[in-house]
Every structure is written in structure tokens, then in C-alpha cells.
Amino acid sequence: MNTPKAPDYVPGHGLLQGRTAVITAAAGAGIGGATARRFLEEGARILIGDAHARRLKETEQALAAEFGAARVTSLPCDVTDEDQVGALFALAEQTHGALDLVVNNAGLGGTAALVDMADEQWAKVLDVTLNGTFRCTRAALRSFKASGRGGVVVNNASVVGWRAQTGQAHYAAAKAGVMALTRCAALEAAEFGVRVNAVAPSLAMHPHLVKVTSRELLTELTAREAFGRYAEPWEVANVIVFLASGYASYMTGETVSVSSQHP
């Protein structure tokens, strides 16, 4: 049996030309990093944040060398720290003027049976994945409301927010919370012209996922995908681009599954 291969990479079409975006957890080769690249390819200016300062600087330097230093800025940001979140959004406005787009990608997973899970394990995943998305969404909406020019928030959820998976109670609860937060924020933000949506990937492979997930589980999850392969991070980023663009102008409060998974 031939190993399924990913489709050809899709070139940019200027869908975000001249827009300014904040993207969290954008260092490295995961969905955040792929989103940063895709936004640049679509014409945006970006400010990327990540809790890993060294990897973040390396990502900024690589993207700046390719797309120009004027279009790429970075600032270390731990989304569990309100002061750091505030500094990230303040820098976006100082550097690029009014903000247009925010992608809340920061999240933390792990595997633990509920009967063995410590309070600290539960709280840490919830604080990064759900509370961090709340802090950044709140900062985004405050910025958009003050500017009066509208804006877009795209949150990164997960199919486990809908589907049960053993060992993922903390992560599933957090991602289900992100979906609910997305719906409520969308209703509140509509009155000042802001759209809030989310993506829910099933399995997008990247180096960090390999470190925190067993090979057996990854094999099992991949086998559930209709295409017989995991998603490339850029395939999820393509849907984030769509939600951030004018093509999704009538969508808000929605969570779009980026998955070929069957039950």
C-alpha cells in the first residue's frame, strides 16, 4: 500500500493584503508557525508571540529574511500572564498602527487518565488553552472596539472539543470551552463589526506533538483519518486564512472542523 501524500502547497493570493495580525504560539513548525508564513504569503504584516523566546527569535529572523523585516515583529508572550498579553497587543498597535486580525493559537496538551490527573495538570492545560484564549480575545476585542474599524479573531480549538478521547479530559474540556467562548464573543463583538470564529483540527503533525504523544496513539489517530494521513500544519493554516479573509465576511461564532476523521 502506498503511503498517502499531502497535496501540493497552495500559493498566496493576496487575501490579507495590507492587514496587521497578531499570532500567538507562532514559533517553530506547528500550526502557529504555518499560519504566520501563510499570512505573510497573503500580504499581511504580523506580530508573532510565543513563550519560547529563542525559538521565537529564530522564527522572526527566518521570516524577516524571506519577507522583509518591516513585515515581521516578535515579542515573547506567555498567554497565562496578563501583563505579557497586554504588552503584545500594545506593541502591535505601536508598530503597525490599528490591528486587523488576531489568531489565538496557544494551547497545551498532554495525556493523563482522569483518575490519575493532578489538580496542577488540569489547571495548567486550562490556563494556557482556555484562559489564554480568553485573555487574548479580550485584548483583541478591546483594541478593535477602540479603533472602530472592525476586525477578526480566529481561535484554535480541536475536534476533541466534540469527540471523546481517553486521556484527554483536560484538553477536551479546554477546547470545548474555546468553542463556547468563540460563540459568546462573536455575539458580543458583532455590534462593533468584529467576527470571531474557530478552527477545530483533528490531527496536524508537528515536532511538539510527536514529543508529547505516544507513537501508538499517533498511529491510531492517523488510521481514523479518511485520507489515511495526518494534516500538514499549513492545511489548517489555509482555513485560518479563509476565516480571516473577506471570503468569510458573513461567518461569525462558527467552529470549522479541519478534519477527515471518522468516528
What's the Rg (C-alpha) of the chain? 17
CA dihedral 52, 89, 45, 130 (to 10 degrees): 60
Which amino acid, 200? Answer: A
Strands 255-258 and 194-201: parallel
Active-site hit among 171, 230, 247, 250: 171
Q: Which residues pair with 154 in a beta bridge?
A: 103, 197
Inter-residue contact 137 to 187 (CB < 8 Å): no
Q: Where are the beta strands (DSSP E) in 6-81?
A: 20-23, 45-50, 72-76
**How far, in whole angstroms, is CA 226 from its chain's centroid?**
23
If we measure between CA atoms, which residue out of 23, 121, 5, 113 comes closest to residue 63? 23
Q: How many helices (H) and strands (E) does the chain have?
A: 9, 7
| Polymer length in residues for the chain | 263
Inter-residue contact 179 to 200 (CB < 8 Å): yes
For residue 236, give the C-alpha cell.
489548517
d(CA 138, CA 212): 29
Which amino acid, 130? Answer: L
Q: Is 171 a residue of the active site?
A: yes
Torsion 4-205-126-157 (CA) sign: negative
Catalytic residues: 171
